[in-house]
Each structure stands twice: as C-alpha cells, then as structure tokens.
Amino acid sequence: MKSLSLLSCLLSLSILGTTPLLATIIYPAPAIADDSSVIRKVVLFDLFQRGEFSGITPEVTKITFFESYALAHWFWGQGGGETLLIKENNKWRTVVAASGALHPSTLVRYGIPRDTARTIINLDRGAPEESLAVAEPFIPVLPQLQQQTDVLILLPSEIPLRGAPIYVSSQIENNQYQLNLELNSKCRGVISCTIGSFSAEPVGQLYYVDDPFTKEVDLAKGIQGYFIPSRCDGISRRTESGFSCRPSTIEWVWEGSIYRISLRGVGRNVSEEEAIISAIANSAIEAGPR
C-alpha cells in the first residue's frame, strides 16, 4: 500500500472540501447520503487530529444510523475502531472514538442513555429495526440483563419446552452472563432442579471445543456451531442418577463471545436433540442482539 505523508493526506482530504482547522470537524447534513459523506470526513479528520498518523490513509467502512446518532467503523493500518457521532443543529460532531469495538457502558460514560446506547450497538451488529419477542421465561430478566452487561445478548424467540413453569435465575457480569432455567423459584442452580442454561462469555485466543463427541453444525447467518450430545458416564450415574448426566449442548463464537445453550431432556435420541437445540440456537441468532 502506497505510503502518504501527513501533508499529502491533508491535501487530498482538502480536495474533498474539508479543512483541517478544528479538533472536531462538523458540517451540515440535509440527507442520509450527504450524512454519510460528511461523517466520513469528520471521522477521518478526528483521527488525524489525535496525532496517530501512521502513513496510511484511514478508511470508513460502515455507518449505522439511529435517530440523531451514527456509529462509524474505520480501518487504519493494521487495526480499526469505531466512532460515535451525534447530529446537533444539523451538524455532526464526534462523541467518542476508540480502537476496537465500542460498548454500551462506554457510550453511557459520554452521556448517552443506556437504552439508546444498547439500541445503537444492537442495530450496528445486525438486530432488526423491529425486534422479535423474546421467549416467555426470559421476559422478566431481560431488562436487568440489558442494564448490567456489555455483552451482545442472544436469546431465542421461543423454547419448545412444555410442562411445569420455568423460572430463570441469572449471573450477570459486564463481559458475561448465564441464565439458568429452573423448575422452581428456589432452585439456586442446584443440578437436580436445573434443566438448562443460556450463557455468553469472552472467547480466548485459542478457542476449541474440548469434547470428543463434538459435531460441527451449520447455524443461521453462516455461523459454525458445535453440538455435543447428552450422555451419562459412570461417575455421573453413581452421583445423582441421571440429573448429573451431561446436557445436550450447542455453542458458537460471535462478536468476541462464546454463546452456549445447554438443555436436558430435549429429545428421544441424539438426532432429535441436535435438531431441537440447533433450532433454538438459530432462533437466538436470527432474532439478533436484544
């Protein structure tokens, strides 16, 4: 890639009708097409003003709009990042820019309401403009989850489990969560009354599924999943008669997190287990981040 001097980069941008005089450049933007052009100029000049010139011209690769906000992705040299902008008085200005991905908690620190911050990021990561309803057991816990974690939340629109009511207990941290499906409200994670879980946690640099029975499966949106059938080993049988058996599990990696669904008693055989739990995973993926 041809290396450019800082002067030549600034001159080339000036030809586009910009001027490197302000720390944050703002321009009127009467339409979305014009908005995109202006946002690109604002983002590029903001990056140059930060003094991180690398000899390579940065490129804005994607822009997502929501109300008066725009989230721009940029690539520069060997890395990239994101910039959040706001349009005030018909002019765009930078709110915050960072290498890597922006998270809801970061936007909140810059004065963006939490619900708005999550909506912007969810839309940018593929959520539909009109979100699908979440499966009934997750309805009570979803608002708490949205407020307390930065993880993109993937939950299905329905769960094909019938019979007794299902209760959900949660373990939520900023970068991970686990929702346990339980048969009574006082289960507190006890194996004998827990029928499954939905979780997400950071993925390590060397990700692999450590189970000899793992089967690769194709999930929605071209995602590679890994299915592990339920089974009982000798130790499990001796300890707690069936309930300690390993549940059916499916997991996949997306946007820096490992998503995992584990359920007990979802099928009469391995093929049925795979079909049911894959359908649940696809429902979560297709619904997009919550």
- Secondary structure element (H or E) that encloses residue 257, with its range: strand 257-263
- 206 neighbors 187 (Cβ within 8 angstroms): no
Q: pLDDT tens, 61-82?
A: 999 999 999 999 999 888 899 9
Query: What per-residue confidence (pLDDT) applies to 234?
Result: 55
- 45 neighbors 18 (Cβ within 8 angstroms): yes
Residues 61 and 34: their CA atoms lie apart, in Å, by 16
Residues 269 and 264: their CA atoms lie apart, in Å, by 12
Query: What per-residue confidence (pLDDT) applies to 193?
Result: 87
Residues 152 and 132: their CA atoms lie apart, in Å, by 15
Query: What per-residue confidence (pLDDT) applies to 12?
Result: 42
Query: What per-residue confidence (pLDDT) applies to 4?
Result: 42
Average pLDDT over residues 2-12: 41
Residue 96 phi, psi dihedral angles, 5° rounding: -160, 145
Per DSSP (E only), the strands in 120-256 are: 167-173, 176-182, 194-202, 215-218, 224-228, 248-254
53, amino acid identity: F
Global pTM reads: 0.82
Query: What per-residue confidence (pLDDT) applies to 121?
Result: 98
Q: pLDDT tens, 97-131?
A: 999 999 999 999 999 999 999 999 999 999 998 88
Residue 57 phi, psi dihedral angles, 5° rounding: -70, 125
Q: Is pLDDT larger for residue 237 or for residue 275?
A: 275
Residues 36 and 149: their CA atoms lie apart, in Å, by 30
Q: pLDDT tens, 8-60?
A: 444 344 333 333 323 334 444 445 668 999 999 999 999 888 765 566 788 99
Least reliable range by pLDDT among 105-114, 117-126, 177-186, 232-241: 232-241
Residues 257 and 199: their CA atoms lie apart, in Å, by 10
Query: What per-residue confidence (pLDDT) applies to 54?
Result: 61
Query: What per-residue confidence (pLDDT) applies to 48?
Result: 85
Residues 39 and 65: their CA atoms lie apart, in Å, by 11
Q: Which of 148, 63, 48, 62 is nearest to 103 (CA)?
A: 148
Q: Is pLDDT larger for residue 207 or for residue 269?
A: 269
- 217 neighbors 250 (Cβ within 8 angstroms): yes
Percent share of the chain, pLDDT over 70: 82
Read off the tokens for 143: 């608002």
